Structure 1
């Protein structure tokens, strides 16, 4: 990878990390429910999911997903179901006006991991994004290193988001605000699930 290619990769990775999506919506929901601890656990899960797809792309394994229409559609159905389940739970679930018992870190980690593992768009994106910055004859470890750097940049951005959310944690803990934000995050997750379902 040339220096110009490396800088282009860094810029593209930063921009892509900053674009709100499923991960941001899930992070907001888990921050409201579990505070900083829950948010960090969610990021760990999200990034492990990204790392799995990035490594699969680096090793050429995820190409099998694109080669099989059945496998892709099956993963898409699972992805839609996961997003709708989390979304409906957040939107229509019982919201106690009292400060809720913080969920365990494990629940945030599992939520983040499940959302990204079941998201075919992450897999397809990894396949189409990473190889653009590495020459076809490059050693496999170069693509693996690029995949790892992508995960690091994505993680750093989410940590910035957590730092910003931590500054308004008192506001987030207000029962009315908490309920509205959790319902909003649920509506966003449902919308993303519907979008994934109808996209070709």
Structure 2
């Protein structure tokens, strides 16, 4: 095991629980659709983290760090995607009528919304589509929330720079650099998976209280506004 494992775990734990766009998406999806949606969003975030970690190990992140143009392009793409999600959530909230979504409305995930009346809940708080909704719709929604977490992380260049600058600091002088870096990246990913699983299970009981149409409309409005604000901050942020 790496010599600096425990200090690394402390830093990783702090970074993992720090709120950001991924946290907002997990909370929004979890509160509106249950712990399964939160878990799938978190898994998408973890896949994005694993891709960034792999790029850092292979040295690809150095290209992003060295090129101001590449960094800016990825940053603006990420800001645009966050703005897109925020606008979709606001549209979803505005198209709600008397607390229920219009038949032609789509959720902020890009998949058809699952009406509240057609959603059943297990004891663990997971939102499961009733037979009338259909397996295909539930699968599309699951894929959409997973994709949200993935793209949000992939289009965040600061995560790439984080791995590029963080991992080498916890490789001792007498350790094999490549092997230790790979181990540290794997540990980072395991911590992220454990965190999102725990968080998704904890958010399940809360989501059952917010099954009503008014609560979901308010949640979409708040989350959409927050994502638009974050996208503006990301786009205008000149720091690397």
TM-score, normalisation: structure 1: 0.91
Q: Which has the higher strand share?
A: 2
Segments of structure 2 that go 5 or more residues without pairing to the other structure are: 102-112, 115-128, 130-137
Q: Give yes or no for the alignment of 1:156 onto 2:194.
A: yes
Q: C-alpha offsets along residues 100-132 of structure 1, whole Å, 9 cap, x if unaligned?
A: 516521111111111111111211122122221
Aligned to 1:131: 168
**Matched residue SS, 1:62:** helix
**Bigger mean CA deviation after superposition, 93-102 or 40-49:** 93-102
Structure 1 residue 23, shift from structure 2 partner: 0.8
Alpha-carbon distance in structure 2 between the residues aligned to 1:195 and 1:160: 29
Alpha-carbon distance in structure 2 between the residues aligned to 1:192 and 1:59: 30
Partners of 1:59 and 1:144 within 8 A in 2: no
Q: Give yes or no for the alignment of 1:116 onto 2:146.
A: no
**Bigger mean CA deviation after superposition, 34-43 or 70-79:** 34-43
Alpha-carbon distance in structure 2 between the residues aligned to 1:178 and 1:61: 41
Partners of 1:43 and 1:155 within 8 A in 2: yes
After the TM superposition, which segments of 4 or more aligned residues of structure 1 sit over 3 Å from their partners?
none
Partners of 2:33 and 2:207 within 8 A in 1: no
Alpha-carbon distance in structure 1 between the residues aligned to 2:85 and 2:42: 16
Q: C-alpha offsets along residues 32-78 of structure 1, whole Å, 9 cap, x if unaligned?
A: 34322222211111110011001111222110101111111111110
Partners of 1:49 and 1:113 within 8 A in 2: yes
Q: CA RMSD in A?
A: 1.8
Partners of 2:36 and 2:200 within 8 A in 1: no
Alpha-carbon distance in structure 1 between the residues aligned to 2:96 and 2:7: 45
How many residue pairs are counted as aligned between the two chains?
198
Alpha-carbon distance in structure 2 between the residues aligned to 1:65 and 1:117: 13
Segments of structure 1 that go 5 or more residues without pairing to the other structure are: none
Alpha-carbon distance in structure 2 between the residues aligned to 1:135 and 1:66: 23
Q: Which has the higher helix share?
A: 1
